[in-house]
Structure 1
């Protein structure tokens, strides 16, 4: 009989790739954790990039970095357009080898290593500009919040959808001067506000996880980080909108070139930023609301990771115990 029972090879491959991505973010976290609290953010970032690049060499994909450390002449590794993987299905890669370099350097919460993967052509090619973002979690009415609304309207609509009062809501945003008016208005409306010094990928994901207590993430941050956040939000069926913010015509032209035929000023929905089947992995470097940081011992370390698949909607928290006496790769 030609019919077969059981998962298709694509599904099996998809699942295997999800676990392979965890190894990539673990490697970057283990390498950068050695620089935690040393005040040398560039060394921490460089260690994460190098470790992630080496780990990608073992992943069975034909990968192209579309969100990376910059252009080829700006970044020696994991630059936009770089090919990674040992061969396999054509995939686009979005990476932030160390999200929160300052957090790692100062041993502050929420430094993480991040990778997202999608079938070729399904990630927004985002230039290194700011993006206005708004994120809420799953199981809410479509369009419950919108970038076009005032913060007061968004909080009121979200509170009603959650069966809460605005006073029960927790808003998360980056602690930046550009957000001061929005923060003041949110507090005046009654909401509590959690301020992050850095790390808006972790903040955006937190809005989708009940364990974080965050109800909504709002504010502007890096566009590449916005694509990574969108990948994670897709996996848990949350809601997100974004809009690229340009300082000049040159930045707008760059965005137009990267996404031909698209209006660079348009409001982006979740599928504009991350479409198709998406995989996401993050590993904690320093302990935060999302993940525990790397715990280091003389000959071993313990990592805490989150891996998600949009196809199944499954999220897994994985604790890895790494024995450096037997591990084939160890941080230098």
Structure 2
């Protein structure tokens, strides 16, 4: 166990960290390793800001608070990034340059609240996530469009096909995992347009795990061995699909997607709405960093917890090169008190 002081932590909360190493890849340095850790204080602070609106029923204020914090703190990160995903048209506009001049050029994807901010109703799976990849690596979907998605972990990446019937994919996942179809758990956004999909999954004999909040958290859950979720299916935000693909790229999982055309005029945007997009189409770079902090809890991360004098957050930090997964648990003291974070590597 050693103690590490993040260079950017002072700008994002002044946290000191206890860092422990697990596995042969732990402790491996490199640009992705360093950059991913620099993102942690940013997503932590943004999640804490959004968390103040949990349960208040305000769909916009929580997301706005998170975006405001990211806008203020991301200049402390050693990148020269262009916002490709997640620009809200005000503080963080699509195409806006963020970070430090002279740093490596890259694309930045942001998911603040994961679609409609679920914390407004205090439901699970809301998180704040930032994905960073090489310049030109992140797919830029048309704005305000939806995306049909199928996400699985590394053990099922080569056995599913979004063009196949749901039942066939469920049988393929069950075979790959060495279980029966009744043991397969599928995460589906709890939305009215998924009624038929839910019926198909249950009719095939599998179990449905309805996700109230975020698809990004659901996709990560499908790729993590400690999660009960085996697959994510359904239609949600296109921007969230790209951010989720960045996470799955680091985890060795797979995301297959199709843009959904809302109107005939959308066909003239230059995007192929019938084309199947794979993880490598959504995130084309080889060097990817991803960090997400939970606002409310999920199958992978604990949500923000408030105690007397401090709050705790839990984040997942992913790198593609070298491939490392970290779970970071931090304790945030109230103003005037020393902050510290305890880091557990998974």
Q: TM-score range by the shorter chain?
A: 0.7 to 0.9
Unmatched 5+ stretches in structure 2: 1-28, 340-346
Query: Which portions of structure 1, spanning 4 or more consecutive aligned residues, are displaced by more than 6 angstroms?
Result: none
| 1:289 corresponds to | 299
| 1:219 corresponds to | 234
Measure, in 1, the Cα distance between the counterparts of 2:115 and 2:307: 23
| 1:38 corresponds to | 56
1:29 maps onto 2:47 in alignment: yes
TM-score by length of 2: 0.84
2:115 and 2:237 in contact (8 A); partners too: no
Q: Cα distance, 1:109 vs. partner?
A: 1.3
| 1:77 corresponds to | 91
2:207 corresponds to which of 189, 192, 211: 192
Measure, in 2, the Cα distance between the counterparts of 1:293 and 1:96: 16
Q: How does 1:1-150 map to 2 (within 5 A)?
A: 12-70=30-88, 75-87=89-101, 88-99=103-114, 101-127=116-142, 128-140=144-156, 142=158, 144-150=159-165
Measure, in 1, the Cα distance between the counterparts of 2:240 and 2:57: 23
Q: Cα distance, 1:43 vs. partner?
A: 1.2
Measure, in 2, the Cα distance between the counterparts of 1:203 and 1:140: 16
Per-residue deviation, residues 99-141 of structure 1 (Å, max 9, x unmatched): 2554211222111101100010001001221111101111336
Q: Cα distance, 1:215 vs. partner?
A: 0.8
| 2:313 corresponds to | 303
2:124 and 2:212 in contact (8 A); partners too: no
| 1:160 corresponds to | 175
Q: Cα distance, 1:327 vs. partner?
A: 6.9
Provide the secondary structure at the position in 1 that maps to 2:148.
strand
2:295 and 2:304 in contact (8 A); partners too: yes
161 and 105 in structure 1: CA distance in 2 versus 1, 3 angstrom threshold = same
| 2:331 corresponds to | 321
Aligned residues: CA RMSD:
1.9
TM-score by length of 1: 0.88
Measure, in 2, the Cα distance between the counterparts of 1:141 and 1:245: 23
Q: Cα distance, 1:297 vs. partner?
A: 3.8
Measure, in 2, the Cα distance between the counterparts of 1:108 and 1:63: 32
Measure, in 2, the Cα distance between the counterparts of 1:298 and 1:251: 52
- How many pairs were matched up? 308
2:218 corresponds to which of 187, 203, 209: 203
Measure, in 1, the Cα distance between the counterparts of 2:118 and 2:43: 17
Measure, in 1, the Cα distance between the counterparts of 2:250 and 2:294: 19
Measure, in 2, the Cα distance between the counterparts of 1:231 and 1:141: 15
80 and 183 in structure 1: CA distance in 2 versus 1, 3 angstrom threshold = same
1:101 and 1:111 in contact (8 A); partners too: no
1:100 and 1:112 in contact (8 A); partners too: no
2:188 and 2:234 in contact (8 A); partners too: yes
Measure, in 1, the Cα distance between the counterparts of 2:227 and 2:156: 17
| 1:5 corresponds to | none
Unmatched 5+ stretches in structure 1: 1-10, 257-261
